[in-house]
Amino acid sequence: MAKYIVRRLLGAIPVLFGLSIILFAFIHMLPGDPAAALLGQHATPELTAQIREQLGLDKPLWQQYINYLGQLLQGDLGKSIINNRPIIDEFLIRFPGTIELTIGALIFAVGLGIPLGRFAARHVQGAGDGMVTVISLLGVSIPIFVLGLTLQYIFAVQLRILPTSGRLDPRIQLEYQTNFVLIDTLLAGDLGAFVDGIRHLILPAIALGSIPLAIITRITRASVLDVTNEDYVRTARAKGLTERRVDGRHIMRNAWLPVVTVIGLQVGGLLAGAVITETIFSWNGVGRWTVEAIQDHDYFVVQSTILIFAVIFLIVNLIVDIGYAFLNPRIRYA
C-alpha cells in the first residue's frame, strides 16, 4: 500500500507540471490587459508600460512561465494584481466558505442519492423506479444557475422562509477564528447564528448538489442491480439468510466500489460548480473570487486557484483509491 501511495504521488508530478503549462498558456490567451484593467480610466500608454514592467508582463512568455514555476516550487503563489496581497492569504480566507458549501452539497447528494438508488433498485420497473428516474434526469438536465435562481424565487421571494444570499445575516456580529461560519458560531456559543448559517447554506447546497445527486442515484441503482443478480446473492438467499443481512453483507458491500468512485469524482464537479453557485448566491468563497479575478484580468489569482483545485482533485482521487482496499480486501495494488 505504501509503495502504491508513493507511486501515485510521484505520478501526480508530471500531471501538475503539464497542467501548469496548459493553464499558463490559456490564461495569457484571454483578451484584455491586466495593467490596463488595474489602471482603469487613468490608463495611459506610459503608465500601462510601467505597470507591465513591474508585474513582469513585458517579458517573453517562456520567461514569465519559468519565473512562475520557480515561485511555485518555493511555495509562493504570487500576489494579486488588484490589491497586491499574497494569493495564499486571500485563498485561505475564502476557501473555508467553499469547503462548507461543498460539504453541504455532498451531504445532500450522498444522503439522498444512495437511498433513492437503493429504493429504485428494489422497485425496478415499478412506479417508484420510474419516479426516481424522472428525478435523476431532471437533476442532470437543469443547469445550476437555473435551479439556483428558481430556488431563490420560490423559497426566498415567494415563501420568504430562506435567505437569498450570503453566508450569515449581516446584522449578526461574529468573530471569525477559522472562517468556517458553522464552526465559528459554535465556538462563540451562538446557537441562533449557527441556525442562521444553516439556513443560508440550504439553498446553495441544494443547487450545487443537484447534479451529483442525480448521478449518484443512477450509479447506485445500476450497481445494486448488478450485484443483486450475482450467484453469491442467490446462494445467500437460498441458505435462508434474512433480506436485511443479504442486503448489508452481500449486496451493498460489493455495490459500494463504483458508488465510492463516483462520489470521489463528483468532488471535482462540486468545486467547478461552486464557481456558478457562489456567484448566484453571493457566497464568499473561492469560486466567486475566481470569477471576480477573471473579470479583473488578475492572471495570478486565476491560475493559482485552478492549480490548487487540481491538487485537491488529485488528492481526493488518491483517497478514494486507497479506500478500495478497506471496502474490498481482495483488491491488491500491483
- Please state, rounded to an integer, the average pLDDT across all residues of the chain: 83
**CATH number of this structure's domain 89-290, picked from the four choices 3.50.50.60, 1.10.3720.10, 3.20.20.70, 3.40.1390.10:** 1.10.3720.10
Average pLDDT over residues 298-323: 81
Q: In the chain, pLDDT over 90 holds for what percent of residues? A: 23
Q: Phi/psi of residue 295, each to 5°?
A: -65, -30
Q: How many CB atoms lie within 10 A of CB 273?
A: 24
How much is the pLDDT for 293?
Answer: 86
How much is the pLDDT for 278?
Answer: 92
Average pLDDT over residues 128-156: 89
Q: How many CB atoms lie within 10 A of CB 131?
A: 14
pLDDT over 90 (residue 171)? no
How much is the pLDDT for 315?
Answer: 82
Range of weakest confidence among 47-61, 97-111, 288-302: 47-61
How much is the pLDDT for 41?
Answer: 67
How much is the pLDDT for 204?
Answer: 94
Which has more confidence, 113 or 55? 113
How much is the pLDDT for 330?
Answer: 61
pLDDT over 90 (residue 154)? yes
pLDDT over 60 (residue 74)? yes
Q: How far is CA 332 from CA 3, 200, 329, in A?
A: 12, 44, 8
3-state secondary structure of 296: coil
Range of weakest confidence among 29-33, 118-122, 281-285: 29-33
| Whole-angstrom distance, CA of residue 211 vs CA of residue 206 | 9
Residue written as cell 500531471?
15
Q: How far is CA 67 from CA 34, 76, 93, 284, in A?
A: 18, 11, 26, 30
Range of weakest confidence among 49-53, 169-173, 297-301: 49-53
| Whole-angstrom distance, CA of residue 196 vs CA of residue 185 | 10
How much is the pLDDT for 328?
Answer: 63
Q: What is the pLDDT of residues 175-219, one digit of tens each?
A: 888 889 999 999 988 899 999 999 999 999 999 999 999 999 999
pLDDT over 80 (residue 247)? no
Q: What is the pLDDT of residues 282-298, one digit of tens each?
A: 998 998 898 888 887 78
Categorize the per-residue pLDDT at 37 as very low, low, confident or very high, splitting at 50, 70 and 90: low
